[in-house]
Every structure is written in C-alpha cells, then in structure tokens.
Amino acid sequence: MNDRDVYVKLAAVAEELFALSETAETYVGEAALRTAASTIAGTAKAVYEHAVGSDTEH
C-alpha cells in the first residue's frame, strides 16, 4: 500500500466518521466521532503533504 492509498483510505474513514457523528444519539457520541474524524483527517492531510512533497523532491 503506497502513501496515496493510505491517504485515500484515511480520508474515507474520516468522512464516514463525520457522517456517523450526525446520527449519534448523544452529544458525547457525536463529540467522540467528530474528534476521531478530525484526528484521522489530520493524519490523512499529513500523509498527503508528505506524498506531494516527496513527488516534488525527486
């Protein structure tokens, strides 16, 4: 699995968690899902920036 694949998978998981947060029955559940989604989205962004940076350095 290359960096692009990792980015795509993480971005998809983050989107799914954001969507699930809208259906949470409690504020705590919603907050937990949104926090997890934000963390994973940030990780995906870091992987993307690394992959793009790697492409321009070679």
**Residue range of the domain that includes 19:** 3-57
Task: Provide the residue type at 1 as one letter.
Answer: M
Structure confidence at residue 55 as a pLDDT band (50, 70, 90): low
pLDDT at 24: 98
**Whole-structure pTM value:** 0.84
Q: How high is the mean pLDDT of the chain?
A: 93
Distance CA 46, CA 7 (A): 9
Distance CA 45, CA 7 (A): 7
Domain count, the chain: 1
Residue 8: CA count within 13 A, CB half-sphere: 5
Q: CA angle, 40 as apex, 11 and 30 as ends, to 5°?
A: 105
**Is 57 a residue whose pLDDT tops 50?**
no
